[in-house]
Amino acid sequence: MTIKRILAASTLALIALPASADVRWNEAAARSGFESLPDAQRSSAQGVMKQAGLYASGLDGKWGPATARGAIATAEFLEDNSYDRLDFDLHTPEAARRLFQFLLTNEGPAYLWGEGGECDGPGC
């Protein structure tokens, strides 16, 4: 999949309403999971989603429609890009918290922009 296709799909995902998501979704639960994180982690998670083209708002660490759409688009993208090895349904606060915490690890962004466990240099 080319970057243009990924960005186009991401843009379409941002336009979609949360109720149409393929992931199991409960807005109150997703919001609770997001808001259970410290402010800096919430803003950082938004930043990761924004870098991936899955979030289109400011990095304020606050829950709103853009964060909701970004969370759904991110969960869907991670599931698709991991060939269904990852599943971040947003139906409980714990599940949502796991998604946002995953974005703050080295592994999370690797799934978002294709960098990760592959060998990238000499001596691998």
Q: Other CB atoms closer than 10 Å to residue 95's CB: what's the count? A: 19
Residue 99, Cα to own-chain centre: how many angstroms?
7
Q: How many CA atoms lie within 13 A of 86 on its CB side?
A: 21
To the nearest whole number, what is the mean pLDDT of the chain?
Answer: 82
Which has the minimum average pLDDT: 61-65, 88-92, 104-108, 116-120?
116-120
Q: Identify the pLDDT of residue 121.
A: 45
Q: Residue 93 — very low, low, confident or very high, per pLDDT cuts 50/70/90?
A: very high
Q: Identify the pLDDT of residue 65.
A: 97
Q: Identify the pLDDT of residue 84.
A: 77
27-35 helix and 65-81 helix, angle to the nearest 10 degrees: 90
Q: Residue 79 pLDDT more than 70?
A: yes
Q: Residue 20 — very low, low, confident or very high, per pLDDT cuts 50/70/90?
A: very low
Domain residue extents for the chain: 3-112
Helices H / strands E in the chain, number of each: 6, 0
**Among all chains, which residue has been given the structure tokens 């304020």?**
60
pTM of the full structure:
0.75
